Structure formats: structure tokens, C-alpha cells
Amino acid sequence: MKNSLIGRSMVLVAVLGVLMSTSVQAAEVKVMVSGGFQAAIKLLVPEFERLTGDKVTLIFGPGVGAAPDTIPNRLKRGESADLFVMPGWALDSLIKEGKATGRLDLAESRIGVAIRAGAKQPDISTVEKFRRAMLEAKSFGYSDAASGIYVSTELFKRLGIEKDVMPKGKLVTVGFVGQAVARGEVELGFQQMSELLPISGIDIVGPLPPEIQKVTTYSAAVATGAKEPEEAKAFLKFLTSAQALPAIQQSGLDAVSAGKH
């Protein structure tokens, strides 16, 4: 009996030792993520945590813009991160400022058009039909991030309808553009396909025609002052692996073009 109790005690001590060791070794990786990659990363985090035992804390915010929760403004306030995931051109700015290093491209995002669920869908299958649909639309919404900047400053100007269309536009700075569409605040909504897909109460008409589409490459880089640089690199490697591709595509993103890695 005594030997049995001693044996059980030794097993218990061994188990506690393993648990304590795991607890000590586990790291918290803080990742700042902008809108277009949010749905994908939410799908991927649980698997990475299961494989590594590390914890990933996601901090969401636009990659650009004047809102207080944008990634650049968070950094200006002294918030910290181990890894950034955001549009590549916005990430390049952080790299030039010495705040990030080692950019890797993750996925490509395309701009889509949404309407309120059940509403009559406009035909946007060609550039000319899209142009006509915008002239006929009563209102539209756009964000202050990558897709909205393109729509409001380039797209309609290229089509020669900026003066006719922009007065009908509404800048959506809180929440997602799709949510404004679902509430009936605007007739049409422009945002990344990956940001429209999770929104209920809307129908996605489709992406912009290829000739006027704006492809955004979402990229990641390790923060220069990362507290957990090795774990951040491991998570970055996981995000660029073949294992991560199904979740990325499921979220409405496309694989990066050949040669971008």
C-alpha cells in the first residue's frame, strides 16, 4: 500500500512538472490585424495554439486612416505588438519607420459590392454596366481604409463620374460598410470581399470588374520591438504555410500571385 501511494505521488509530481513546464514555456503573441485578414486569422489562431501551446491575442484595427483604433495610431499611443498583418503598402510604411521587419505576403483581397438582403441586384458584370449602376444608385457606403480610399479617390475619377457619384457617398468610420448596408443606411456598399462575407443581412453582388478592380496584398511582418520575436516568426511561418491556405480562401481571400513570397 505504501509503495502504491509513493508511486502515485511520483506520477502526480511528474504530471505537475510537465504542466508547470508547459505553462512557463507558453508565450503570448500579440498580433495587430487590419480588416481584410480578420476573418481568416480568426479561423487560423485555434489551430496554431493547439500545435504550439502558445496563446495568440488579436488586436483589430484599420491599417490606415484617422480613426483612433488604426494600427499606426495604436503604436503612436505606445501600444505594443509582436506581429503586424495589414495591407502590404501600409506595412511598408511601418518598415520604413523601423517598426517592423521581414515582410511576407499572405493573400490577395478584392473589393466587392453589397446590397441589402433581398434588394434588387444591379448588374456590375462589365465596366460600362457598373458605371451605369453607380449613376442610378441613390447612395453608397465606403470605408476609410484601403478599399474606400481607392473607391473615393481613384475609381469614379477613372470612370469620369466622380462629380455625379461622390455626393451620394457616405464614409463609414464605425463598424463595417456591410453593416450600414444591412441597416438600410446606404443602397450599395464597397469593401473587401473578406470583410463583406461575414456580415448578415446583405447580399454580395460580386467583385468589381477586373478592369477596374483594386487588388490589395495582405502581408505580415514581425514588430521590431517584439517581446516574443521567435514565437511571432513561428506564427508568421504558419500563416504562409499550405496548412493555412484553406482557411484563407474560405474567408474570401485569394492565394498570393506566384513569386510574391
- Residues 116, 232, single domain; the answer is no
Number of alpha carbons in the 13 Å side-chain half-sphere of residue 80: 10
3 in any annotated domain = no
| pLDDT tens for each residue of 79-121 | 999 999 999 999 999 999 999 999 999 999 999 999 999 999 9
> Do residues 231 and 108 make contact, with C-beta atoms less than 8 angstroms apart?
no
- What's 135's domain CATH number? 3.40.190.10
| pLDDT tens for each residue of 205-256 | 999 999 999 999 999 999 999 999 999 999 999 999 999 999 999 999 998 8
> Do residues 138 and 165 make contact, with C-beta atoms less than 8 angstroms apart?
no
What pLDDT was estimated at residue 13?
41
4 in any annotated domain = no
pLDDT at position 64 over 90: no
How many structural domains is the chain composed of?
Answer: 2
- Residues 98, 37, single domain; the answer is yes
DSSP 163-190: HHHGGGEEEE-SS-HHHHHHTTS-SEEE
Task: Work out the number of other CB atoms within 10 angstroms of the CB of residue 171.
Answer: 12
The pTM of the full predicted model, rounded to 2 decimals, is 0.78
- Residues 142, 182, single domain; the answer is yes
32 in any annotated domain = yes
- Residues 75, 33, single domain; the answer is yes
pLDDT at position 7 over 70: no
pLDDT at position 24 over 90: no
What pLDDT was estimated at residue 259?
40
Work out the average pLDDT over 56-84: 93
Q: What b/e sequence results for 95-132 when a residue is b if at least 16 CB atoms lie within 10 Å of its CB, and e otherwise?
A: beeebbeebbbbbbbbbbbbbbeeeeebebeeeeebbe
The mean pLDDT of the chain is 89
Residue predicted with more confidence, 66 or 204? 204
- Residues 153, 191, single domain; the answer is yes
224 in any annotated domain = yes
10 in any annotated domain = no
What pLDDT was estimated at residue 39?
92
- Residues 49, 63, single domain; the answer is yes
- Residues 88, 148, single domain; the answer is no
What pLDDT was estimated at residue 8?
47
Q: What range defines the domain where residue 198 resides?
A: 111-212
- Residues 82, 71, single domain; the answer is yes
SS3 of the chain: helix, strand, coil, percent, to 5: 45, 25, 30
- Residues 90, 152, single domain; the answer is no
- Residues 163, 175, single domain; the answer is yes
- Residues 115, 208, single domain; the answer is yes
Number of alpha carbons in the 13 Å side-chain half-sphere of residue 9: 6
